[in-house]
Amino acid sequence: MYGFKEVTAEQLKEMQEQGQAFTLIDVRSPAEVARGMIGGAKHIPLHLLPMSMAEIDKGSPVVFYCLSGGRSSQACAFAAAQGFGEVFNLRGGISGWANRSFPIV
């Protein structure tokens, strides 16, 4: 599937709890982010991603998320095309995360 994998909210929560090293990127709009985001995430709106790729560590796994998973899958495909090795899309986005009552900051 386009050079990236999906991760469920449960798997992402487990990655956080185990202290795994990864970069979490929220590609939603500033207005959406103002309503809350997943702890530890870096905000890079999808339209600014091409200009911001140098800020992301290629040597670390990267997890992208948006509201439901559509925009973040675009971000994943772009990152994979740019040579990022371990790229993950949060299945269901922050909505799936919130539906499991996981924390939003």
pLDDT tens-place string over residues 76-105: 999 999 999 999 999 999 999 999 999 999
**66 included as an active-site residue:** yes
Compute how many other C-beta atoms are within 10 angstroms of the C-beta atom of residue 104.
12
| pLDDT at site 42 | 98
* Contact indicator for 52, 71 with CB cutoff of 8 Å: no
* From 62, 66, 75, 80, active-site residue: 66
For 22-51, the pLDDT digits (tens) are 999 999 999 999 999 999 999 999 999 999
| pLDDT at site 3 | 85
% helix, strand, coil for the chain, step of 5: 40, 15, 45
What pTM, to 2 d.p., does this model score?
0.96
Compute how many other C-beta atoms are within 10 angstroms of the C-beta atom of residue 66.
24
pLDDT of 1 > 70? The answer is no
Q: Where are the beta strands (DSSP E) in the chain?
A: 5-7, 23-26, 42-43, 62-65, 87-90
